[in-house]
Structure 1
Amino acid sequence: MSESSHPSMASALAPMQLVWPSPLYLPSYVAALERGWSPNNLRPEAAQEELAAIQADPSGFLDGLIDRDAKGPPVHLPDGGTVPKLPGYRRWMWDDEFCGSIALRWQRGSNALPDYCLGHIGYAVVPWKHRRGYATQALRAMLLEAPSAGLSYVEITTSPDNIASQRVIEANGGVLVERFDKLASLGGTPELRFRIAL
């Protein structure tokens, strides 16, 4: 049996790609949520909220992940408050199964973001797919798409102790521009802001 015909080896060798959320990939996404992964590292409860939304209206959930016109409902903050949704969309990382999510958001006509939004791009890889370079690959691909949103640079933030994320950003040309404390509504903890020219 060749490597490519052996199911487990084929899966291990499958390259990671970014895909648009769709019914084809949704069951694997649900499985990741059910294993405890959350697409929002500030709000772990987002996993259960998304599972409920998928159960109630799978098509509506998928449609809401691609919202270039910011028509969706307000975004929940960790302190329980809400803020207006920004234009943006999510792509899913896929290597024969769901392995992570990356999102791009922006304000029309400006590189600036409201202070409650920590960056133009956010990403999260499921724990069982860490250390495979997926976040670095996904960010590289998303940087190619960002100019279509009218951006000349993107900002990405991460915590000072998240060395893995810092390496992902720096591998894609990120330069540290600021150390700051997040808003109280976002936890008030220290954060690093990187900028990547497009």
Structure 2
Amino acid sequence: MTELIAPAARLHSSWLAARDEWPPGAHQDGAGLRLVADDDLNSPEGFASWVERLRRQSDRSLPVGEGRVHATHWWIVDGETYLGAIDLRHYLNAFLLEGGGHIGYSIRPSARRRGLATWALGAVLVKAPALGLDRVLLTCDEGNVGSARTIESNGGVLEDVRGTEIGIKRRYWIALDDAGHSHSSMAATKTSRQA
């Protein structure tokens, strides 16, 4: 059964297998790899240290590094198999407002085209109001059709397409009700129920 879980050191071997599916140095949105520091993710100890750092990033009583924001990380798993990652940034700094957004996600290459990103995004949107968010910003690369569809299917409304320091980004806003459902998807649901 596919579910979202907090990052877990016990999934080390599955995470390594997923990492090896990506090209060397590829960016994995929402994975928190910028928090690696000097940890050797190949070693169980280094991996466990990084996992703990991911888990602590959501604790607002703890400081975050310069240029970082508090964020909650989840892994998308099926049993003991790591399928991807998604994070919810609690607030935006200038960099995230320009090109990063509130939510980042990535699916391991062998698990794509199964609707996992769409499902995970919907599951995380429900959690956003607990952080005081009534709308969230999501971005994707201009040519990333799959990610644009994922965002749009969860109620994303395109604000603009702009050049940023990390490339040309499509910027979407999703307005949420108190339960974390997007206003656009609620309207679509009401319309389809009436039909």
What is the CA–CA distance in structure 2 between the aligned matches of 1:25 and 1:89, rounded to whole Å? 18
Aligned counterpart for 1:35 among listed residues 1, 21, 37:
21
- Structure 2 partner of 1:8: none
CA drift at 1:126: 0.5
Q: Any conservation in 1 of the 2:28–2:105 contact (CA below 8 Å)?
A: no
Matched with 1:193 is 171
More moved, 50-59 vs 120-129: 50-59
Distance 1:126 1:168 in 2: 15
Quick check: 1:120–1:155 contact (8 Å CA) kept in 2?
A: yes
Deviations 1:100-128 (A, max 9, x none): 10011123xxxxx2221210000000111
Find the partner of 2:77 among 91, 94, 99: 94
The aligned counterpart of 1:103 is 87
Give the counterpart of 1:60 among 19, 41, 49.
Answer: 49
Taking the aligned partners of 2:172 and 2:90, their CA distance within structure 1 comes to: 16
Query: CA offsets per residue over residues 164-191 of structure 1, 9 Å max, x none?
Result: 00100011111101221112xx3xx211
- Alignment partner of 1:181: what SS? strand
Aligned equivalent of 1:140, options 122, 129, 134: 122
SS in 2 for 1:116: helix
Residues 40-62 of structure 1: CA deviation (Å, up to 9, x unaligned): 347xxx59x58724625333211
- TM-score by length of structure 1 reads 0.73
Cα offset for 1:25? 2.2
Q: Give the unaligned 5+ runs of structure 2.
A: 177-195
- CA-based RMSD of the aligned residues comes to 2.5
Alpha-carbon distance in 1 for matches of 2:28, 2:16: 17
Say if 2:157 is the partner of 1:170: no
Larger mean CA deviation between 64-73 and 163-172 belongs to 64-73
Q: How many residues align?
A: 163
Contact 2:72 2:90 in 1 (8 A): no
Contact 1:157 1:193 (8 Å CA) reproduced: yes
The percent of aligned pairs where both chains have the same amino acid is 30
Question: Does the residue aligned with 2:27 lie in a helix, a strand or coil?
Answer: coil
Q: Which amino acid letter does the alignment assign opposite residue 63 of structure 1?
A: E
